[in-house]
Chains A and B, each alone.
Chain A
């Protein structure tokens, strides 16, 4: 098996989770999830639809924000990605800031579409490469979008997994908790515990995250790299300097 970068491992890991999705939407500032969506599409013989918000190119361009949000409400988006400045053990995400609202000590950009899409897209994958207690907190300071809802709240969507630079957690909606599903090669369960501020379920044996095979790496380098270079040129040049001019 060939060598791979940490980005390629994350791309392959997320792409595996997109297998059942027919239409995958990708938000802003998401080069790794975007690459994963393109890999899943390439593996499907281009039968999957990938919409990249802000893309000016076919076939990834959307018909605009209104159309995309309506599309989610119609059940026509199967997978989406969210992140957070803080994420807690109930899968609540904070994209807004830290401290007493509204004059917060730390202020970020805002909730964007999260407070809506998190409810409506069946498979939302949380992605945050930085795995630290600063990010993964016991309780977020501000719930930009909640991980779980009361039983009477209309919610066909929600968190499926949290992928980080160290590991993969799967979210168990009935329990409202994360379960450690795999740890990336070169890292340990102890390291994950040390760097995670929230409590999570951990089986006795935690497997190592599956590494990308040669076929996957070829697809990533030959098909995904040139395509993701259009919305994310700096990312593509950094990760695949040979593949991207």
Chain B
């Protein structure tokens, strides 16, 4: 069976990056499956004014996109390079106001996406009351629980990204994408208008026909385009495929500590296209 639209499988990653418009609201998943190759292609096509939604937090990819001037707004529960330290370009851009920050808390990002997934305008969530996270967000509203008495609860607006982008182990020729244990990628894909996906490889059988793989597979219904990009999450990890390249991440953290260092790093690692690792 191979009656998927011919346009679904794209090559190379550049073709995917071209589909993501300037100003788009782009959702990025935090864990394994970070589409680093696609992110580098976005930098090369000089994407501008993106509104990033990190799900629920972010690391090297949002830091890189912010440093390269691709981002106007970042909606996040936190951006950090983890054991490699703070995310330097994120922090610099928030301090100068070059990027507008919308601080959230992890489950608030999920809840906003879940509202969009259900096509409802908002989702209530416990917590947040009395925090400056709530005070800083004019779009978060407090209502009184209509089923209770004197029970304030926060309502979060639906988050409807223009697109979700992620990297996955494989896809089939019908456009179904195997997401392994990353079940939360389905929330992103359901909430976003479109999903653009890079994969390690394309397989020649239909993933949904296998009972063991089907629960860990995103239906092609939610997928707009796929590009084959072996090593597409590197230097971050893809479990079962490759581990973190800690030397490369450490080198980034060091270089990105200053604007000059970041520019040199960008010129050497992103602006020069280097085949499969690009």
Contacts and interface: CB of A to CB of B under 8 A. Distances in A.
A binds B: yes
Contacts of A104: 94-95
Contacts of A144: 131-133
B275 interface: no
Interface stretch (A40-48, A149-157, A169-177, A183-191): A149-157
Contacts of A118: 127
A104 B91 CA distance: 10
B106 interface: yes
Given A102-B103, A107-B94, A143-B133, 14 more contacts: A28-B80, A64-B181, A64-B184, A65-B110, A65-B184, A102-B94, A102-B100, A103-B97, A115-B105, A116-B108, A145-B105, A145-B133, A146-B130, A152-B152
B60 to A, nearest CB: 13
A234 interface: yes
B126 A110 contact: no
B103 A110 contact: yes
Interface of A: 28-29, 54, 56, 63-66, 69, 73, 95-96, 101-105, 107-120, 142-146, 149-150, 152-154, 234
Interface residues of B, number: 47
Given A64-B184, A112-B57, A116-B106, A152 B78 contact: no
A103 to B, nearest CB: 5
B152 A146 contact: no
Contact of B131 (A69, A109, A110, A115): A115
B131 A152 contact: no
A243 B67 CA distance: 41
Contact of A152 (B31, B107, B151, B181): B151
Contact of B107 (A28, A69, A103, A149): A69
Contact of B129 (A102, A110, A149): A149
B39 interface: no
B54 to A, nearest CB: 9
Nearest to B183: A64
Nearest to B79: A109
Contact of A142 (B57, B77, B87, B132): B132
B105 A112 contact: yes
B273 interface: no
A56 B95 CA distance: 34
Contacts of A64: 181-184
